[in-house]
A and B are shown apart, each in its own frame.
Chain A
Amino acid sequence: MAVDIRNVTKKREQRYSYGLTLLRDCIEKDRVLPRDEDIFKKTILKVEDITINFGGLNALTDVNLELRDGELLAIIGPNGAGKTTLLNVISGFYRPQQGDVYFQDKKITHYSSHRIAEMGICRTFQNIALYTGLSVIDNIIAGRHPHIRYNFLIGMLYFPWARREEARQRAISEDIVDFLEMEHVRNTTVGTLAYGLRKRAELGRALALEPRVLLLDEPMAGMNLDEKEDIARFIIDIHEFLSIPIVMIEHDMGVVMDIADRIAVLDFGLKIGDGTPEEIRKNPKVVSAYLGEE
Protein backbone atom coordinates (compact mmCIF):
# COMPACT_ATOMS: atom_id res chain seq x y z
CA MET A 1 0.00 0.00 0.00
CA ALA A 2 2.44 2.61 -1.15
CA VAL A 3 1.63 6.15 -2.17
CA ASP A 4 1.81 6.48 -5.92
CA ILE A 5 3.33 9.84 -6.78
CA ARG A 6 1.61 9.82 -10.17
CA ASN A 7 -1.81 9.80 -8.51
CA VAL A 8 -0.71 12.69 -6.35
CA THR A 9 0.51 14.67 -9.34
CA LYS A 10 -2.67 13.98 -11.24
CA LYS A 11 -4.82 15.17 -8.36
CA ARG A 12 -2.69 18.28 -8.03
CA GLU A 13 -3.14 19.10 -11.69
CA GLN A 14 -6.89 18.70 -11.41
CA ARG A 15 -7.04 21.30 -8.73
CA TYR A 16 -8.34 24.62 -9.96
CA SER A 17 -6.46 26.82 -7.52
CA TYR A 18 -4.69 26.58 -4.20
CA GLY A 19 -6.71 29.39 -2.69
CA LEU A 20 -3.92 30.25 -0.28
CA THR A 21 -3.34 33.72 -1.69
CA LEU A 22 -4.06 35.60 1.55
CA LEU A 23 -1.65 33.51 3.55
CA ARG A 24 0.90 33.73 0.78
CA ASP A 25 0.72 37.51 0.82
CA CYS A 26 1.32 37.50 4.57
CA ILE A 27 4.34 35.27 4.20
CA GLU A 28 5.77 37.08 1.18
CA LYS A 29 5.47 40.45 2.85
CA ASP A 30 8.27 39.86 5.27
CA ARG A 31 10.26 37.25 3.47
CA VAL A 32 13.90 38.06 4.00
CA LEU A 33 15.15 36.69 0.73
CA PRO A 34 13.60 37.18 -2.68
CA ARG A 35 12.14 34.13 -4.38
CA ASP A 36 14.87 33.45 -6.88
CA GLU A 37 17.37 30.76 -7.70
CA ASP A 38 19.84 31.80 -5.03
CA ILE A 39 17.64 30.96 -2.10
CA PHE A 40 18.57 27.31 -2.25
CA LYS A 41 22.13 28.18 -1.35
CA LYS A 42 21.18 30.00 1.82
CA THR A 43 20.98 28.07 5.09
CA ILE A 44 17.87 28.98 7.03
CA LEU A 45 18.05 26.53 9.92
CA LYS A 46 21.16 24.98 11.33
CA VAL A 47 21.58 22.42 14.09
CA GLU A 48 25.12 22.23 15.40
CA ASP A 49 26.64 19.40 17.46
CA ILE A 50 23.47 18.69 19.36
CA THR A 51 23.81 16.22 22.22
CA ILE A 52 21.01 15.40 24.56
CA ASN A 53 20.53 12.46 26.88
CA PHE A 54 17.73 11.38 29.15
CA GLY A 55 19.08 9.75 32.28
CA GLY A 56 21.94 7.92 30.60
CA LEU A 57 20.17 7.26 27.35
CA ASN A 58 21.76 9.18 24.50
CA ALA A 59 18.83 10.38 22.45
CA LEU A 60 21.02 12.51 20.19
CA THR A 61 24.81 12.53 19.88
CA ASP A 62 26.66 15.31 18.04
CA VAL A 63 23.99 15.76 15.43
CA ASN A 64 24.63 18.34 12.72
CA LEU A 65 21.97 19.31 10.25
CA GLU A 66 21.36 22.14 7.84
CA LEU A 67 18.18 23.17 6.14
CA ARG A 68 18.50 25.39 3.11
CA ASP A 69 15.79 27.80 2.15
CA GLY A 70 13.15 26.31 -0.10
CA GLU A 71 14.23 22.77 0.59
CA LEU A 72 12.18 19.74 1.57
CA LEU A 73 14.30 17.72 3.96
CA ALA A 74 13.14 14.33 5.16
CA ILE A 75 14.43 12.73 8.35
CA ILE A 76 14.21 8.99 8.50
CA GLY A 77 15.36 6.41 10.99
CA PRO A 78 14.10 3.46 13.00
CA ASN A 79 11.85 3.89 16.06
CA GLY A 80 13.58 5.56 18.96
CA ALA A 81 16.29 7.00 16.72
CA GLY A 82 15.77 10.49 18.13
CA LYS A 83 13.86 12.11 15.27
CA THR A 84 11.11 13.59 17.41
CA THR A 85 13.68 14.61 19.99
CA LEU A 86 15.49 16.61 17.32
CA LEU A 87 12.31 18.50 16.42
CA ASN A 88 11.67 19.10 20.11
CA VAL A 89 15.13 20.61 20.45
CA ILE A 90 14.56 22.87 17.44
CA SER A 91 11.22 24.12 18.74
CA GLY A 92 12.74 24.89 22.13
CA PHE A 93 10.84 22.21 23.95
CA TYR A 94 13.94 20.30 25.06
CA ARG A 95 17.18 22.02 26.01
CA PRO A 96 20.22 20.24 24.56
CA GLN A 97 23.14 19.46 26.89
CA GLN A 98 25.50 20.56 24.18
CA GLY A 99 25.26 22.27 20.82
CA ASP A 100 23.20 25.08 19.36
CA VAL A 101 20.34 25.76 17.01
CA TYR A 102 20.56 28.68 14.57
CA PHE A 103 17.67 30.17 12.68
CA GLN A 104 18.56 32.68 9.99
CA ASP A 105 22.01 32.95 11.59
CA LYS A 106 20.56 33.77 14.97
CA LYS A 107 21.20 31.49 17.93
CA ILE A 108 17.85 30.33 19.24
CA THR A 109 18.93 27.48 21.51
CA HIS A 110 17.72 29.19 24.65
CA TYR A 111 14.67 30.94 23.30
CA SER A 112 11.36 29.91 24.79
CA SER A 113 9.08 27.81 22.61
CA HIS A 114 6.55 30.53 21.96
CA ARG A 115 9.24 32.95 20.79
CA ILE A 116 10.59 30.36 18.41
CA ALA A 117 7.08 29.88 17.06
CA GLU A 118 6.65 33.63 16.67
CA MET A 119 9.82 33.72 14.63
CA GLY A 120 8.21 31.27 12.25
CA ILE A 121 9.36 27.79 13.19
CA CYS A 122 6.06 25.95 13.23
CA ARG A 123 5.35 22.30 13.66
CA THR A 124 2.92 19.46 13.94
CA PHE A 125 3.13 16.66 16.47
CA GLN A 126 3.49 12.94 16.16
CA ASN A 127 0.68 12.44 18.65
CA ILE A 128 -1.93 14.96 17.61
CA ALA A 129 -1.96 17.95 19.94
CA LEU A 130 -4.94 20.01 18.88
CA TYR A 131 -7.12 22.19 21.11
CA THR A 132 -9.70 19.45 21.55
CA GLY A 133 -12.58 21.65 22.67
CA LEU A 134 -12.46 24.00 19.69
CA SER A 135 -13.80 23.58 16.18
CA VAL A 136 -11.50 23.19 13.19
CA ILE A 137 -11.81 26.83 12.21
CA ASP A 138 -11.27 28.01 15.79
CA ASN A 139 -8.16 25.85 16.08
CA ILE A 140 -6.79 27.50 12.98
CA ILE A 141 -7.72 31.01 14.15
CA ALA A 142 -6.09 30.17 17.48
CA GLY A 143 -2.98 29.38 15.45
CA ARG A 144 -3.05 32.96 14.15
CA HIS A 145 -2.45 34.17 17.73
CA PRO A 146 0.99 35.77 17.24
CA HIS A 147 -0.19 37.63 14.15
CA ILE A 148 -3.33 39.21 15.58
CA ARG A 149 -2.75 42.88 16.17
CA TYR A 150 -4.85 44.06 19.07
CA ASN A 151 -4.55 43.64 22.80
CA PHE A 152 -7.07 41.98 25.05
CA LEU A 153 -8.70 45.23 26.19
CA ILE A 154 -9.50 46.17 22.62
CA GLY A 155 -10.82 42.65 22.19
CA MET A 156 -13.05 42.94 25.26
CA LEU A 157 -14.46 46.25 24.11
CA TYR A 158 -14.73 44.84 20.58
CA PHE A 159 -13.82 48.11 18.93
CA PRO A 160 -14.42 48.34 15.17
CA TRP A 161 -10.80 47.65 14.37
CA ALA A 162 -10.83 44.56 16.55
CA ARG A 163 -13.86 43.45 14.58
CA ARG A 164 -12.13 44.16 11.27
CA GLU A 165 -9.01 42.36 12.41
CA GLU A 166 -11.08 39.35 13.48
CA ALA A 167 -12.72 39.27 10.07
CA ARG A 168 -9.34 39.46 8.35
CA GLN A 169 -7.97 36.63 10.47
CA ARG A 170 -11.08 34.61 9.77
CA ALA A 171 -10.65 35.16 6.05
CA ILE A 172 -7.07 33.88 6.17
CA SER A 173 -8.16 30.90 8.26
CA GLU A 174 -11.06 30.03 5.97
CA ASP A 175 -8.57 30.12 3.14
CA ILE A 176 -6.52 27.48 4.90
CA VAL A 177 -9.65 25.40 5.54
CA ASP A 178 -10.45 25.54 1.82
CA PHE A 179 -6.92 24.63 0.86
CA LEU A 180 -7.00 21.56 3.10
CA GLU A 181 -10.44 20.65 1.75
CA MET A 182 -12.01 20.66 5.19
CA GLU A 183 -15.02 22.89 4.51
CA HIS A 184 -17.44 20.14 5.48
CA VAL A 185 -16.03 19.86 9.00
CA ARG A 186 -15.16 23.52 9.51
CA ASN A 187 -17.43 23.91 12.53
CA THR A 188 -16.98 20.47 14.01
CA THR A 189 -15.21 20.13 17.35
CA VAL A 190 -11.86 18.55 16.56
CA GLY A 191 -12.14 16.04 19.41
CA THR A 192 -14.89 14.27 17.49
CA LEU A 193 -13.11 14.11 14.13
CA ALA A 194 -11.57 11.06 12.51
CA TYR A 195 -7.83 10.60 12.91
CA GLY A 196 -6.89 11.62 9.38
CA LEU A 197 -8.89 14.83 9.58
CA ARG A 198 -7.36 15.70 12.90
CA LYS A 199 -3.89 15.37 11.43
CA ARG A 200 -5.01 17.63 8.63
CA ALA A 201 -6.40 20.20 11.05
CA GLU A 202 -3.07 20.22 12.83
CA LEU A 203 -1.32 20.94 9.56
CA GLY A 204 -3.77 23.81 9.08
CA ARG A 205 -2.99 25.24 12.49
CA ALA A 206 0.74 25.13 11.76
CA LEU A 207 0.13 26.90 8.43
CA ALA A 208 -1.88 29.59 10.20
CA LEU A 209 1.27 30.62 12.05
CA GLU A 210 2.80 31.80 8.76
CA PRO A 211 5.73 29.40 8.91
CA ARG A 212 9.20 30.34 7.72
CA VAL A 213 10.13 26.74 8.41
CA LEU A 214 7.64 23.94 8.77
CA LEU A 215 8.47 20.88 10.89
CA LEU A 216 6.21 17.89 10.31
CA ASP A 217 6.44 14.89 12.63
CA GLU A 218 5.13 11.83 10.78
CA PRO A 219 2.29 13.65 9.00
CA MET A 220 1.08 10.48 7.30
CA ALA A 221 1.42 7.95 10.12
CA GLY A 222 -1.60 5.77 10.68
CA MET A 223 -3.49 6.91 7.61
CA ASN A 224 -5.03 4.98 4.76
CA LEU A 225 -3.74 5.32 1.23
CA ASP A 226 -6.21 8.00 0.14
CA GLU A 227 -5.45 10.15 3.14
CA LYS A 228 -1.74 9.70 2.64
CA GLU A 229 -1.99 10.83 -0.95
CA ASP A 230 -3.97 13.88 0.11
CA ILE A 231 -1.40 14.84 2.72
CA ALA A 232 1.45 14.27 0.27
CA ARG A 233 -0.34 16.53 -2.16
CA PHE A 234 -0.80 19.26 0.47
CA ILE A 235 2.84 19.06 1.48
CA ILE A 236 4.02 19.44 -2.11
CA ASP A 237 1.56 22.30 -2.64
CA ILE A 238 2.74 24.11 0.48
CA HIS A 239 6.33 23.56 -0.47
CA GLU A 240 5.96 24.79 -4.03
CA PHE A 241 3.30 27.45 -3.78
CA LEU A 242 4.42 29.07 -0.53
CA SER A 243 8.06 28.04 -1.03
CA ILE A 244 8.39 27.20 2.65
CA PRO A 245 11.31 24.97 3.59
CA ILE A 246 10.01 21.82 5.24
CA VAL A 247 11.53 19.26 7.58
CA MET A 248 9.49 16.08 7.51
CA ILE A 249 9.88 12.95 9.59
CA GLU A 250 8.37 10.03 7.74
CA HIS A 251 8.55 6.26 7.77
CA ASP A 252 6.98 5.68 4.36
CA MET A 253 10.11 5.34 2.22
CA GLY A 254 8.19 5.54 -1.04
CA VAL A 255 6.88 9.01 -0.27
CA VAL A 256 10.19 10.16 1.12
CA MET A 257 12.14 9.06 -1.95
CA ASP A 258 9.59 10.69 -4.24
CA ILE A 259 9.12 14.09 -2.70
CA ALA A 260 12.18 14.93 -0.59
CA ASP A 261 15.01 17.06 -1.97
CA ARG A 262 17.35 15.68 0.62
CA ILE A 263 17.23 12.98 3.27
CA ALA A 264 18.96 12.74 6.64
CA VAL A 265 19.15 9.40 8.40
CA LEU A 266 19.27 9.00 12.18
CA ASP A 267 20.06 5.82 14.02
CA PHE A 268 20.41 5.54 17.80
CA GLY A 269 20.90 9.28 18.08
CA LEU A 270 23.64 9.41 15.46
CA LYS A 271 23.33 10.89 12.00
CA ILE A 272 24.50 8.12 9.71
CA GLY A 273 23.63 9.63 6.38
CA ASP A 274 22.70 12.85 4.64
CA GLY A 275 22.16 13.40 0.93
CA THR A 276 19.83 13.23 -2.04
CA PRO A 277 17.47 10.25 -2.25
CA GLU A 278 19.83 8.66 -4.78
CA GLU A 279 22.84 8.96 -2.50
CA ILE A 280 20.89 7.61 0.45
CA ARG A 281 19.77 4.59 -1.50
CA LYS A 282 23.41 3.77 -2.22
CA ASN A 283 24.83 4.60 1.21
CA PRO A 284 25.98 1.27 2.70
CA LYS A 285 25.57 2.38 6.33
CA VAL A 286 22.01 3.42 5.73
CA VAL A 287 21.18 0.29 3.82
CA SER A 288 22.44 -1.95 6.59
CA ALA A 289 20.85 0.05 9.41
CA TYR A 290 17.54 0.85 7.91
CA LEU A 291 16.71 0.09 4.33
CA GLY A 292 18.18 -3.37 4.48
CA GLU A 293 15.54 -4.55 6.88
CA GLU A 294 12.76 -4.09 4.38
Chain B
Amino acid sequence: MTDKLGEPIVEIIDLHKWFGNFHVLKGINLKVYRQERIVICGPSGSGKSTLIRCINRLEEHQKGKIIVDGIELTSNIKNIEKIRSEVGMVFQHFNLFPHLTVLENLTLGPIWVRKMPKKEAEEIAMHFLEKVHIADQAHKYPGQLSGGQQQRVAIARSLCMSPKIMLFDEPTSALDPEMIKEVLDVMIELAQEGMTMIVVTHEMGFAKKVAHRVLFMDGGTIVEGNTPEEFFSNPKHERTKLFLSQILH
Protein backbone atom coordinates (compact mmCIF):
# COMPACT_ATOMS: atom_id res chain seq x y z
CA MET B 1 0.00 0.00 0.00
CA THR B 2 2.84 2.38 0.71
CA ASP B 3 3.92 2.94 -2.89
CA LYS B 4 0.56 4.52 -3.61
CA LEU B 5 1.61 7.43 -1.42
CA GLY B 6 4.13 8.74 -3.94
CA GLU B 7 7.54 10.20 -3.09
CA PRO B 8 9.06 9.12 0.20
CA ILE B 9 9.49 11.92 2.72
CA VAL B 10 12.50 10.23 4.29
CA GLU B 11 14.81 8.07 2.27
CA ILE B 12 17.77 6.37 3.87
CA ILE B 13 20.21 4.53 1.63
CA ASP B 14 22.95 2.24 2.97
CA LEU B 15 23.52 4.31 6.08
CA HIS B 16 26.60 3.62 8.19
CA LYS B 17 27.64 5.32 11.38
CA TRP B 18 30.56 4.85 13.71
CA PHE B 19 31.17 6.19 17.21
CA GLY B 20 34.97 6.18 17.11
CA ASN B 21 35.75 2.62 16.08
CA PHE B 22 32.37 1.29 17.13
CA HIS B 23 30.17 0.48 14.15
CA VAL B 24 26.69 1.47 15.37
CA LEU B 25 24.63 1.50 12.17
CA LYS B 26 25.57 -1.10 9.60
CA GLY B 27 23.88 -0.36 6.32
CA ILE B 28 20.36 0.85 7.02
CA ASN B 29 17.92 1.16 4.14
CA LEU B 30 14.55 2.73 4.83
CA LYS B 31 11.87 4.65 2.99
CA VAL B 32 9.18 6.45 4.89
CA TYR B 33 6.20 7.74 2.92
CA ARG B 34 3.92 10.64 3.71
CA GLN B 35 1.31 9.83 6.35
CA GLU B 36 3.07 6.60 7.12
CA ARG B 37 3.63 5.59 10.72
CA ILE B 38 6.59 3.46 11.63
CA VAL B 39 7.42 1.93 14.97
CA ILE B 40 10.98 0.87 15.67
CA CYS B 41 11.78 -1.58 18.43
CA GLY B 42 14.76 -3.63 19.41
CA PRO B 43 17.06 -4.38 22.32
CA SER B 44 18.97 -1.68 24.15
CA GLY B 45 22.06 -0.53 22.28
CA SER B 46 20.83 -1.73 18.92
CA GLY B 47 21.07 1.78 17.44
CA LYS B 48 17.40 2.88 17.40
CA SER B 49 18.03 6.30 18.89
CA THR B 50 21.10 6.80 16.75
CA LEU B 51 19.10 6.02 13.62
CA ILE B 52 16.33 8.53 14.22
CA ARG B 53 18.77 11.14 15.50
CA CYS B 54 20.57 10.86 12.16
CA ILE B 55 17.37 11.89 10.41
CA ASN B 56 17.59 15.44 11.81
CA ARG B 57 21.33 15.25 12.13
CA LEU B 58 21.63 15.35 15.86
CA GLU B 59 24.11 12.62 14.92
CA GLU B 60 26.33 12.84 11.87
CA HIS B 61 26.59 9.80 9.58
CA GLN B 62 29.79 8.80 7.85
CA LYS B 63 28.55 6.76 4.90
CA GLY B 64 25.36 6.49 2.89
CA LYS B 65 22.63 8.96 2.09
CA ILE B 66 19.76 10.50 4.01
CA ILE B 67 17.25 12.51 2.03
CA VAL B 68 14.54 14.34 3.93
CA ASP B 69 11.76 15.99 1.96
CA GLY B 70 13.95 16.11 -1.12
CA ILE B 71 16.97 17.65 0.63
CA GLU B 72 20.04 15.53 1.19
CA LEU B 73 21.67 15.87 4.59
CA THR B 74 25.23 17.04 4.18
CA SER B 75 27.37 19.27 6.33
CA ASN B 76 25.64 22.29 4.79
CA ILE B 77 24.41 24.06 7.92
CA LYS B 78 21.61 25.94 6.16
CA ASN B 79 20.14 22.69 4.84
CA ILE B 80 20.42 21.12 8.26
CA GLU B 81 18.60 24.00 9.92
CA LYS B 82 15.92 23.88 7.22
CA ILE B 83 15.37 20.16 7.69
CA ARG B 84 15.35 20.47 11.46
CA SER B 85 12.63 23.07 11.28
CA GLU B 86 10.50 20.66 9.22
CA VAL B 87 11.15 17.62 11.39
CA GLY B 88 9.66 17.52 14.88
CA MET B 89 11.47 15.60 17.60
CA VAL B 90 10.20 14.39 20.95
CA PHE B 91 12.77 13.18 23.42
CA GLN B 92 12.72 10.62 26.18
CA HIS B 93 13.47 13.28 28.77
CA PHE B 94 11.20 15.99 27.28
CA ASN B 95 13.97 18.60 27.11
CA LEU B 96 11.66 21.53 27.69
CA PHE B 97 13.33 24.88 28.28
CA PRO B 98 13.05 25.31 32.06
CA HIS B 99 13.57 29.09 32.06
CA LEU B 100 10.59 29.71 29.79
CA THR B 101 6.89 29.28 30.46
CA VAL B 102 4.97 26.58 28.65
CA LEU B 103 3.61 29.17 26.23
CA GLU B 104 7.07 30.62 25.60
CA ASN B 105 8.43 27.13 24.99
CA LEU B 106 5.85 26.74 22.25
CA THR B 107 6.15 30.15 20.60
CA LEU B 108 9.95 30.22 20.52
CA GLY B 109 10.30 28.22 17.29
CA PRO B 110 7.52 29.94 15.34
CA ILE B 111 8.73 33.41 16.37
CA TRP B 112 12.46 33.01 15.85
CA VAL B 113 12.66 30.38 13.14
CA ARG B 114 9.43 31.00 11.22
CA LYS B 115 9.56 34.78 11.91
CA MET B 116 5.90 34.75 12.87
CA PRO B 117 4.36 37.72 14.73
CA LYS B 118 4.11 37.03 18.45
CA LYS B 119 0.35 37.21 18.56
CA GLU B 120 -0.15 34.71 15.80
CA ALA B 121 2.42 32.38 17.35
CA GLU B 122 0.55 32.52 20.65
CA GLU B 123 -2.73 31.67 18.98
CA ILE B 124 -1.17 28.65 17.34
CA ALA B 125 0.46 27.66 20.60
CA MET B 126 -2.85 27.81 22.46
CA HIS B 127 -4.47 25.76 19.71
CA PHE B 128 -1.95 22.96 20.14
CA LEU B 129 -2.01 23.17 23.91
CA GLU B 130 -5.73 22.53 23.73
CA LYS B 131 -5.06 19.67 21.43
CA VAL B 132 -2.80 18.01 24.00
CA HIS B 133 -5.36 18.85 26.72
CA ILE B 134 -3.16 21.17 28.73
CA ALA B 135 -4.20 24.72 27.78
CA ASP B 136 -4.80 25.61 31.45
CA GLN B 137 -1.07 25.23 32.19
CA ALA B 138 0.11 27.72 29.56
CA HIS B 139 1.62 30.19 32.00
CA LYS B 140 3.36 27.71 34.27
CA TYR B 141 7.00 26.77 34.07
CA PRO B 142 7.92 23.23 32.99
CA GLY B 143 9.33 22.51 36.45
CA GLN B 144 5.81 22.90 37.88
CA LEU B 145 4.30 20.18 35.66
CA SER B 146 4.17 16.41 35.96
CA GLY B 147 6.19 14.23 33.60
CA GLY B 148 3.19 13.34 31.47
CA GLN B 149 2.20 16.97 31.18
CA GLN B 150 5.74 17.94 30.26
CA GLN B 151 5.88 15.36 27.51
CA ARG B 152 2.58 16.59 26.09
CA VAL B 153 3.97 20.13 26.11
CA ALA B 154 7.01 18.82 24.25
CA ILE B 155 4.75 17.26 21.63
CA ALA B 156 2.82 20.51 21.28
CA ARG B 157 6.11 22.40 20.97
CA SER B 158 7.02 20.29 17.95
CA LEU B 159 3.57 20.61 16.45
CA CYS B 160 3.76 24.41 16.54
CA MET B 161 6.43 24.23 13.86
CA SER B 162 3.90 22.36 11.64
CA PRO B 163 6.40 19.57 11.02
CA LYS B 164 6.15 17.32 7.99
CA ILE B 165 7.24 14.37 10.07
CA MET B 166 7.59 13.70 13.79
CA LEU B 167 10.30 11.62 15.42
CA PHE B 168 9.71 10.13 18.85
CA ASP B 169 12.56 8.59 20.85
CA GLU B 170 11.01 6.45 23.59
CA PRO B 171 8.58 9.23 24.56
CA THR B 172 6.99 7.28 27.40
CA SER B 173 9.87 5.36 28.91
CA ALA B 174 10.74 8.03 31.47
CA LEU B 175 7.14 8.24 32.69
CA ASP B 176 5.26 6.63 35.54
CA PRO B 177 2.73 4.04 34.34
CA GLU B 178 -0.31 6.22 35.00
CA MET B 179 1.09 8.98 32.79
CA ILE B 180 2.02 6.77 29.87
CA LYS B 181 -1.57 6.55 28.72
CA GLU B 182 -2.16 10.29 28.55
CA VAL B 183 0.87 10.69 26.30
CA LEU B 184 0.02 7.69 24.13
CA ASP B 185 -3.54 8.99 23.72
CA VAL B 186 -2.19 12.26 22.34
CA MET B 187 0.08 10.37 19.98
CA ILE B 188 -2.80 8.19 18.79
CA GLU B 189 -4.91 11.26 18.08
CA LEU B 190 -2.00 12.68 16.14
CA ALA B 191 -1.71 9.48 14.15
CA GLN B 192 -5.39 9.50 13.35
CA GLU B 193 -5.02 12.96 11.86
CA GLY B 194 -2.49 11.59 9.43
CA MET B 195 0.82 12.83 10.88
CA THR B 196 3.86 11.05 9.49
CA MET B 197 5.61 9.50 12.48
CA ILE B 198 8.65 7.45 13.29
CA VAL B 199 8.37 6.20 16.84
CA VAL B 200 10.98 4.32 18.82
CA THR B 201 8.99 2.58 21.54
CA HIS B 202 8.35 -0.67 23.28
CA GLU B 203 4.65 0.09 23.72
CA MET B 204 3.41 -2.75 21.57
CA GLY B 205 -0.24 -1.81 22.09
CA PHE B 206 0.50 1.51 20.47
CA ALA B 207 2.29 -0.21 17.60
CA LYS B 208 -0.64 -2.54 16.95
CA LYS B 209 -3.08 0.34 16.99
CA VAL B 210 -1.44 2.92 14.75
CA ALA B 211 1.64 1.59 12.98
CA HIS B 212 1.73 0.74 9.31
CA ARG B 213 5.03 -0.99 9.73
CA VAL B 214 6.98 -2.26 12.72
CA LEU B 215 10.75 -2.51 12.34
CA PHE B 216 12.95 -4.65 14.51
CA MET B 217 16.53 -3.49 14.94
CA ASP B 218 19.41 -5.45 16.38
CA GLY B 219 23.15 -4.85 16.26
CA GLY B 220 22.89 -1.82 14.02
CA THR B 221 20.75 -3.38 11.29
CA ILE B 222 17.04 -3.61 10.56
CA VAL B 223 16.48 -7.31 11.03
CA GLU B 224 12.93 -7.34 9.80
CA GLY B 225 10.00 -5.07 9.14
CA ASN B 226 6.38 -5.91 8.58
CA THR B 227 2.80 -4.88 9.21
CA PRO B 228 1.95 -5.11 12.91
CA GLU B 229 -0.36 -8.10 12.35
CA GLU B 230 2.33 -10.10 10.58
CA PHE B 231 5.10 -8.82 12.82
CA PHE B 232 3.52 -9.89 16.08
CA SER B 233 1.77 -13.08 14.97
CA ASN B 234 4.33 -14.39 12.57
CA PRO B 235 7.87 -13.09 13.19
CA LYS B 236 10.37 -14.57 10.75
CA HIS B 237 13.71 -14.25 12.48
CA GLU B 238 14.88 -16.06 15.57
CA ARG B 239 16.14 -12.83 17.13
CA THR B 240 12.76 -11.17 16.63
CA LYS B 241 10.98 -14.11 18.22
CA LEU B 242 13.31 -14.03 21.18
CA PHE B 243 12.86 -10.28 21.61
CA LEU B 244 9.07 -10.48 21.33
CA SER B 245 8.91 -13.33 23.82
CA GLN B 246 10.89 -11.18 26.25
CA ILE B 247 8.80 -8.04 26.02
CA LEU B 248 5.41 -9.71 25.64
CA HIS B 249 6.24 -12.06 28.58
- Whether chains A and B associate is no
